[in-house]
Amino acid sequence: MKVRKRRRAPTSPLEKANRKSDQDFIADYLQPGAPGLLPWIREWKHPRTQEDYTVDLVKSNLMQEDEIQACFRLIEETSRSDYENSTTRWTPDSKLKEMRSEGLRYILVRDGDRSVRGFTSLMPTYEEGQPVVYCYEIHLKPDLQGTRLGALLMGFQATVAYNLPPISKVMLTCFLSNTRGLEFYKKAGFVRDDLSPEVRKLRGKMCTPDYVIMSKTISRIRGDETERMPAAACPPMANGGVSKKVAIGREVG
């Protein structure tokens, strides 16, 4: 007889969040919009064409293969040259492996034919002991760029961070060659994080990083008081999240 192991109860709020169904994740972390940000929406209208799009949250393990491939092609379309010109290189297998990471969720923007036209992906995780929402990717088809859809999707990332204490930041990595991406993040309130790598001397040679780690600190409003949340040091998650070292060494996107 096969003895069934009992699943260990989640011990941290992040682990608990990562185990939730998409429906519960939306209800608990996306529905109550953070101050000044839009709560979760299921539909979005293109401001120039008036075309209707749907917005869905899907856990990586529930993504259809064609959806993963559509997201992959979008990364390739917008960012392949940045990868190719970096030390990371364009390595489809490792990118696809990362895209299927346990605990990663996708916010998919689809057109009337259900084709993926844009997405962002995120994971509540610990980064060098700090609880953060890590934004893994954000990519829009060219005809959806400059429509404030990017700002809306980044707003969802901030809303999850706001609704999931003890998270204090949204964090991401961006190639320094992606100057448009950097300007977009700066406009959204992101700054260089202390975890971002510095120029180092390695075997007598200066090594300049080709990416930057950026973050945005999330404040919580209580009544009319603004509470700046401390970046509490927490142990890495037992499971349900990428270990900090893996996350630091993750693909830049």
Residues near ligand COA (CB under 6 A): 78-79, 138-140, 145-151, 174, 178, 180-181, 183-184, 187, 253
Angle, CA of 174, 18 and 13, to the nearest 5°: 105
Residue nearest to ligand COA (CB): 150
Taking the complex as a whole, the smallest distance from the CB of residue 251 to ligand COA amounts, in Å, to: 11
Taking the complex as a whole, the smallest distance from the CB of residue 86 to ligand COA amounts, in Å, to: 12
Lookup: tokens for 5: 């192991």
In this complex, which beta carbon is closest to ligand COA, that of residue 71 or of residue 161? 71
Report DSSP state, residue 246: H
Lookup: tokens for 253: 């996107």
Distance CA 109, CA 106 (A): 10
Distances (CA, A) of 19 to 22, 25, 214: 9, 9, 26
Distance CA 91, CA 82 (A): 12
In this complex, which beta carbon is closest to ligand COA, that of residue 58 or of residue 144? 144
Centroid of chain to Cα 9:
25
Residues 108, 116: contact at Cβ < 8 Å?
yes
Taking the complex as a whole, the smallest distance from the CB of residue 44 to ligand COA amounts, in Å, to: 11
In this complex, which beta carbon is closest to ligand COA, that of residue 14 or of residue 55? 55
In this complex, which beta carbon is closest to ligand COA, that of residue 236 or of residue 253? 253
Taking the complex as a whole, the smallest distance from the CB of residue 45 to ligand COA amounts, in Å, to: 14
Question: Residue 9: how many CB atoms within 10 A of its CB?
Answer: 8
Residues 14, 164: contact at Cβ < 8 Å?
yes
Distance CA 149, CA 119 (A): 10
In this complex, which beta carbon is closest to ligand COA, that of residue 133 or of residue 237? 133
In this complex, which beta carbon is closest to ligand COA, that of residue 109 or of residue 160? 109
Taking the complex as a whole, the smallest distance from the CB of residue 68 to ligand COA amounts, in Å, to: 18
Taking the complex as a whole, the smallest distance from the CB of residue 201 to ligand COA amounts, in Å, to: 28
Taking each helix axis from N to C end, the angle separating 92-99 and 65-84, rounded to the nearest 10 degrees, works out to 130
Distance CA 149, CA 103 (A): 24
In this complex, which beta carbon is closest to ligand COA, that of residue 121 or of residue 178? 178
Taking the complex as a whole, the smallest distance from the CB of residue 213 to ligand COA amounts, in Å, to: 11
